[in-house]
Amino acid sequence: MFLLPKGVIKRFEAICRNYLWDGSPDYHRVPLIAWDKVTLPKLEGGLGIKKADVWNTATVGKLYWKSICKVKETLKSGYQDNKWISDDKEYSIKHGYEWLRFKQPEQEWYQLVWNNWNIPKHALITWIIMNKGLNTKDKLFRIGCCTDDRCSICDISSETQEHLFFECRYSKEILSIVEKWCGFKINVMHGMTGNTGPKLKHNAHTLICATIPFGTKGTMLE
């Protein structure tokens, strides 16, 4: 019914952010993914968590006319001839929120991460990977948290995300075994090719995701 103070919104989002990364109200490390990215819809590369200040404004636009006066300059261009112009529908909080927020392009990997045969833990880790948020040794070395950036598995090349999942000889061996067991080639970025049923896809994806925790040491996803 009213616009929340900025300090309240900031603290509210801090609690949400801390709970996401650590499961508690307090979290003192740098988050793996920026909050502006987290609050994007899954289709646009985020987790679909609502951005508090935008949702607050959208809610005020629905609930209380006095508060509308405070946000009228923000919302007025969304009306034409006293009608809400979005999708030819009456104003709703959902429509107001979608109209107010800054939209991003849809991500090609959306369905790879968010689908019915991906368990939540694997989906979240894969989402972090797609946003280049894993604490791989190349990142940790740059900020002085380790003495070298060599791959923890092969101890040869620099441990980047690309090396960890696609270039490391151990990862290639695992993928080869999975492909042999499934009987078809797997394209990690674009799904699986060949005549595959839901059960085979689920089994293959489970085995692939078993390799994902490499590089997550020191996070709640370990």
- How confident is the prediction along the chain (222 residues), in pLDDT tens digits per residue? 788 999 999 999 999 999 898 888 777 778 899 999 999 999 999 999 999 999 998 888 877 777 777 788 888 888 877 788 766 667 888 888 988 898 899 998 888 889 888 889 989 988 998 898 888 999 999 998 889 999 988 988 999 988 888 888 998 888 888 888 877 776 654 444 444 445 444 544 554 554 444 443 333 333
Q: How far apart are CA 30 and CA 27, in angstroms?
A: 8
116 and 195 housed in the same domain:
yes
Q: State whether 85 and 136 are in the same domain.
A: no
pLDDT of residue 205: 53
Q: How far apart are CA 189 and CA 126, in angstroms?
A: 11
118 and 157 share a domain? yes
Q: Same structural domain for residues 40 and 86?
A: yes
Specify if 63 maps to a domain: yes
Q: Which of 51, 150, 56 is nearest to 103 (CA)?
A: 51
Residue 16 sits in the same domain as residue 74: yes
Domain limit, last residue, from 82, 100, 118:
100
Report if residue 218 sits inside a domain: no
Same domain for 169 and 89, yes or no, is: no
The answer to whether residues 57 and 130 belong to one domain is: no
Residues 10 and 70 in one domain: yes
The reply to whether 75 and 135 lie within a common domain is no
Domain of residue 28: give its range.
6-100
If phi over 0 gives left and psi between -120 and 50 gives alpha, with beta otherwise, what is residue 46?
beta
Whether residue 68 is contained in a domain is answered as: yes
Specify the DSSP class assigned to residue 78: G
Structural domain includes residue 220: no
**Boundary of a domain, candidates 44, 67, 100:** 100
Total domain count, the chain: 2
**19 and 92, same domain (yes or no):** yes
